[in-house]
Structure 1
Amino acid sequence: MISYQITAVDPVAHLFEVSMRVDAPAKQQEFWLPAWLPGSYMIRDFAKNIIGLRASDEINRPLQIQQLDKQRWLIESDADVLHLRYKIYAWDLSVRTAHLDQTHGFFNGSSVFLAVRGQEHHPHEVEILPPNNISDWQVATTLPRIKGDDFAFGRFRAADYDELIDHPVEMGTFTLGSFEACGVRHDVVLTGRHHCHMPRLLKDLTAICESQITLFGTPAPFERYLFMTQVLKNGFGGLEHRASTALHCARNELPKSMDAPVDKDYRSYLTLCSHEYFHSWNVKRIKPKAFIPYQLESETYTPQLWAYEGITSYYDDLMTYRSGRVDKQSYLELLSQTFTRVYRGTGRLQQSLSDSSFNAWTKFYKQDENAGNAIVSYYTKGGLFALYLDLTLRLETNGEKTLDDLMRLLWQRFGQKAIGTDDDSHQQLYSELLGRDASAEFAWIDKAEDLPLAQLLAKFGVELKLRASSSNSDQGGGEAEGLNVGFGAKYKAEGMGIRIVSVANGSPAHKAGLSAKDLLIAADNLQAGAQFEQFLQLYQEQKSVTLHWFRDDVLMSGELPIEVAAKDTVSLLISDEEKINAWLG
């Protein structure tokens, strides 16, 4: 047995304290901490937050610890029992690591619990203790409980280390709600100040969860599920786990009443919940062979992330629609925004989906100001590829087969059997459903080209309309009037001008000489401001406009050519109600 005790020992200093006991250790016992956690494909070096690691034997004699590298330690001893004690600095307000202050505590096990080399498959126990002088905190986690009432501090168990680190923990004075979906208990925990109308949230999540369980078939792959959300002024993000998800959202994204319409803010939160919940099947249980088991000490490469994040990104919006939370036009607006995010980056013509997946560690998760010119997201373009597969299958089988059938086959043949998918597994199953070889369809995974979706959508009663952006905040969808003059740079208002965030290659901004981080202060000797793109529309009859900007503390200038704005914004419009019902009916 390997046992841990974790205490929020000093919330003001953001410190958890962990003590652990290892029975029957090896004479040369190694300990290690993951460098990354499943679902977030970047080396994060959690061990950097360990403070004051100490070891002793069963009679409390201190033992020497040899550090082997950034995340491994070795203890040589004849002791029958090893005790380790250390602190964890927890001040990362994210869903990935650990965060602790006077208001709440949160941690993923991968960032706080040392693993015992050679004993990762043994049972693990952990006792979670409250901070001193704070009596009203509760605990939310899906770790199986040994001792204590629901949401009370107590003792928990895990079958092995992999299970131990796949149940995040939230503690504090949170708002709690519960519902049943297909007979499974679901809990909702909101931490932070908010004005959420909980009955409305529970109603909408029930519909989404039941739609997804029904898609894959009962029973659900968990006995209980937990949505835990940190509510912030501005926040967005989520990370999936085997029976829970950790989320961040903004206060304005939660519903205020039972009958309020699902606006864009609330829709954003619901689709985030839908996305992470769909991962309960697609990546937590249906997963690449390279992830069985996870190798958490270094990068694990796979060209399949398009299938696990891309297909999930297609279904997160779709299941929000199918569950009746948004209407057809609202769903098409969400899909339009996915198209727009892809089309606005010339990186889609530089990087394929398989390459994007394989290089997630260094390119997608470490994006810089040139990302739009160099890479494509396996989330967004992967979602479009899932749409392409769905519509193609529906068209060729006269609606008898859909992408739902592919997901069910993946679940039955891989997920339920804990068998990892090969790089061609999706293609093989899709070919089986299609009744012919699907090599031509799956060749798009290795192409840095736009998918032929406009023609497909037209056959399902949807017109794909490309237009220019109407403003710097236009995300796509709707029928807004596009700008006539293009700029080609993302920016934000700042002090005496606008700060350039990124520049599209070949755009007017690029030709003028602008680069990311430049502070554009003037155009035509007039101060640049937040409405800069609208300002440029005054110069449609000119060939160029003189710009002045600072790069560091050097004043620079250049000529911005007046060019027609790029048509990189997508609106999906219903052209035939009868045809669209073959897809969204």
Structure 2
Amino acid sequence: MAQPPATMIGETGVVYRLSMPAPHTHLLEVACQVKDVGAPIRLVMPSWTPGSYLLREFARHVQSFAAEAGDGTPLCWTKLDKNRWEVEAPRDGVLQVRYTVYANELTVRTSHLDASHGYVNGAGVFMYVEGREELACMLQVSAPEGWHVTTSLSCTDASFRAADYHTLIDSPLEIGTHAIFPFDVGGVPHRYAVWGRGNLDPERLVRDTQRIIDAGANFWGGLPYPHFTFLLHLLPGGQGGLEHRDSCSLQADRWAFRGREYEQFLSLVAHEHFHAWNGKRLYPAALGPVDYTRENYTRDLWVVEGLTTYYTDRMLRASGVITPKRYLERLGDMINRLQTLPGRHRQTLADSSFDSWIRFYRPDENTSNSQISYYQKGALVGLLLDLRIRRLTANRQSLDDVMRLLWERFGIHGMGYPEGALECTAEEVCGAPLSKFFDASLRSTAELNYSDELTAVGLVLTPRAGAG
């Protein structure tokens, strides 16, 4: 295995090398090098990827693990459990580990490699060195001839650099012959990296995305990142997105860029981009720093995902992508979906957040009877909370002020907020007690009281035939 110069190792802490000599086999070859190793050391493959709350057990895709010293001397190693390997200390202090990862699952949460491209979600590919997660990392990528690499990581001398392991795996890579569509918003560089073809109109998409980003920047008071990358896969039946700190991964059906399907795709863009604030920089303390080997529980996922869903449509409206009438139609559709779900009588919003690890990503034939979505109900609770604050303060304050105050106290300082922080901050902004509202909305299965808040702003909710 080729060894990077010692000065590089010293500067970066941990060096990774990624290669794919035979893409059609779906095999990614990974090498990891660490210096100053004076005792047995452990390498760990994460069990889940941040933003997707399910143990996916990425170690099941690892094969051909091997270790050696810097001089090439083989080292003994032992697998301790499902995703941890312990390697004896090398005499020269330099550890080199090699392993292969099978990558043949094309979703935003996993990795994929074939003859057409590679998509790398770092949590399922790069092991971390236990106890050295905070060290800087360097990544070298060896791709097939004619392929290029797109990622949010900074690039220096043909190597990508990350401040730490967390940043490394929060920066997915698209590797191949994908198209690049760059654009600026407020002087900040953005780009789409698009793999696949369909009826996408790049110029229209860029214009609409610029408007959405502008709306987000106006809401929060500026953009929080130095640059941003949208990785977009076009494939039959494609759907879904996953947020990252300076990028996001999106999938869409290749023919989804007309009419209501295009509107829904822009909704995905707005949702994942809003996460650049709410979710990635403003987050529950339970989700940062995380334990990559086990569940990380919080009852505030509804804040991360539900309120982001609420503000998704707000951003679409603020950007002019949808009309006021269409905004209300989408709101009505969301209410109807929840009200026709029997599970709303069985699971609270707080429990839905807490049990995401065992329920949300594992639907079955009884899901609609026993569960709700913290995306959906969380968005509606956000709506009602927003309207209540506006009503109680004669429209002088709103949920917007709550979010921005949380941002000032936690987000810009890189601190996770304690559980229940939004509830306390909402009462502070409102200047009135909201405990009954939160107890009913978050911790009970009582029906949401739409009429009081909607009536106060001149809206009438008319039940549809067949609503539960």
Partner of 2:263: 267
Provide TM-score, normalisation by structure 2. 0.95
Partner of 1:387: 383
Q: Does 1:9 align with 2:6?
A: no
- Distance in 1, Cα, partners of 2:38 & 2:346: 51
Deviation at residue 138 of structure 1 after TM alignment:
1.8
- Distance in 2, Cα, partners of 1:100 & 1:128: 14
Deviation at residue 108 of structure 1 after TM alignment:
1.1
Whether contact under 8 Å (2:199, 2:256) holds in the other structure is no
**Residue type of the partner of 1:105?**
G
**Residue type of the partner of 2:111?**
A
Partner of 2:116: 103
**Residue type of the partner of 2:63?**
I
- Distance in 2, Cα, partners of 1:27 & 1:237: 43
Q: Does 1:177 align with 2:181?
A: yes
Runs of 4+ that moved beyond 4 A: none
- Distance in 2, Cα, partners of 1:83 & 1:238: 34
Deviation at residue 78 of structure 1 after TM alignment:
3.7
**Residue type of the partner of 1:272?**
L
1:268 aligned counterpart, secondary structure: helix
Whether contact under 8 Å (1:49, 1:88) holds in the other structure is yes
User: Looking at CA atoms only, which structure, 1 or 2, has the larger radius of gyration?
Assistant: 1
- Distance in 1, Cα, partners of 2:147 & 2:72: 32
- Distance in 2, Cα, partners of 1:381 & 1:96: 23
Partner of 1:162: 166
- Distance in 2, Cα, partners of 1:118 & 1:287: 23
Question: CA separation of 1:344/1:26 partners in 2, compared to 1, >3 Å: closer, same or farther?
Answer: farther
Deviation at residue 9 of structure 1 after TM alignment:
2.1
Write the deviation string for residues 65-110 of structure 1: whole angstroms up to 9, x where unpaired. 1000010000112431111111110001101111011111001111
Matches within 5 A, 1:122-141: 122-131=135-144, 135-141=145-151
- Distance in 1, Cα, partners of 2:52 & 2:426: 27
Deviation at residue 418 of structure 1 after TM alignment:
1.8
2:410 aligned counterpart, secondary structure: helix
Partner of 2:467: 567
Partner of 1:580: none
The unaligned stretches of length 5 or more in structure 2 are 1-12
Partner of 1:575: none
Provide TM-score, normalisation by structure 1. 0.76
- Distance in 2, Cα, partners of 1:305 & 1:327: 29
Larger strand proportion of the pair? 1
**Residue type of the partner of 1:421?**
Y
* Match among 67, 75, 98 for residue 85 of structure 1: 98
Q: Does 1:146 align with 2:159?
A: no
Whether contact under 8 Å (2:44, 2:128) holds in the other structure is yes
- Distance in 2, Cα, partners of 1:57 & 1:567: 66
Deviation at residue 182 of structure 1 after TM alignment:
2.1
Whether contact under 8 Å (2:153, 2:171) holds in the other structure is yes
1:429 aligned counterpart, secondary structure: helix
The unaligned stretches of length 5 or more in structure 1 are 148-153, 256-262, 469-565, 569-585
Q: Does 1:411 align with 2:407?
A: yes
Deviation at residue 454 of structure 1 after TM alignment:
2.5
Partner of 2:299: 303
Partner of 2:131: 118
- Distance in 2, Cα, partners of 1:392 & 1:44: 39
Partner of 1:480: none
1:467 aligned counterpart, secondary structure: coil
Q: Does 1:200 align with 2:210?
A: no
Whether contact under 8 Å (1:95, 1:246) holds in the other structure is yes
Question: CA separation of 1:93/1:78 partners in 2, compared to 1, >3 Å: closer, same or farther?
Answer: closer
Partner of 2:234: 231
* Match among 391, 394, 400 for residue 396 of structure 2: 400
**Residue type of the partner of 1:35?**
S
Deviation at residue 46 of structure 1 after TM alignment:
0.5
**Residue type of the partner of 1:248?**
Q
**Residue type of the partner of 2:399?**
L
* Match among 424, 436, 442 for residue 428 of structure 1: 424
Partner of 2:84: 72
1:63 aligned counterpart, secondary structure: coil
- Distance in 1, Cα, partners of 2:155 & 2:347: 46
**Residue type of the partner of 2:71?**
I
- Distance in 1, Cα, partners of 2:434 & 2:460: 26
Partner of 1:43: 55
Deviation at residue 459 of structure 1 after TM alignment:
2.1
- Distance in 2, Cα, partners of 1:195 & 1:310: 31
Deviation at residue 171 of structure 1 after TM alignment:
1.2
**Residue type of the partner of 1:461?**
G
- Distance in 2, Cα, partners of 1:69 & 1:318: 46
Deviation at residue 119 of structure 1 after TM alignment:
1.2
Write the deviation string for residues 138-170 of structure 1: whole angstroms up to 9, x where unpaired. 2110011112xxxxxx31011111111110000
Write the deviation string for residues 379-402 of structure 1: whole angstroms up to 9, x where unpaired. 000000000111111112222112
Partner of 2:32: 20
Partner of 1:294: 290
Write the deviation string for residues 254-280 of structure 1: whole angstroms up to 9, x where unpaired. 25xxxxxxx210000000010001111
Q: Does 1:454 align with 2:455?
A: no
Partner of 1:484: none
Whether contact under 8 Å (2:47, 2:294) holds in the other structure is yes
Question: CA separation of 1:378/1:422 partners in 2, compared to 1, >3 Å: closer, same or farther?
Answer: same
Deviation at residue 233 of structure 1 after TM alignment:
1.7
Structure with higher RCO (Cα < 8 A, 6+ apart): 2
Partner of 1:563: none
Deviation at residue 404 of structure 1 after TM alignment:
1.1
2:21 aligned counterpart, secondary structure: strand
Whether contact under 8 Å (2:20, 2:28) holds in the other structure is yes
User: How many aligned residue pairs are there?
Assistant: 454
Write the deviation string for residues 523-579 of structure 1: whole angstroms up to 9, x where unpaired. xxxxxxxxxxxxxxxxxxxxxxxxxxxxxxxxxxxxxxxxxxx324xxxxxxxxxxx
- Distance in 1, Cα, partners of 2:116 & 2:330: 35
Supply the RMSD in Å over aligned alpha carbons.
1.2
Write the deviation string for residues 281-339 of structure 1: whole angstroms up to 9, x where unpaired. 11111111112211111001110001110000101111011100111111122212211
**Residue type of the partner of 2:82?**
K
Whether contact under 8 Å (1:143, 1:158) holds in the other structure is yes
2:24 aligned counterpart, secondary structure: coil
Partner of 1:241: 244
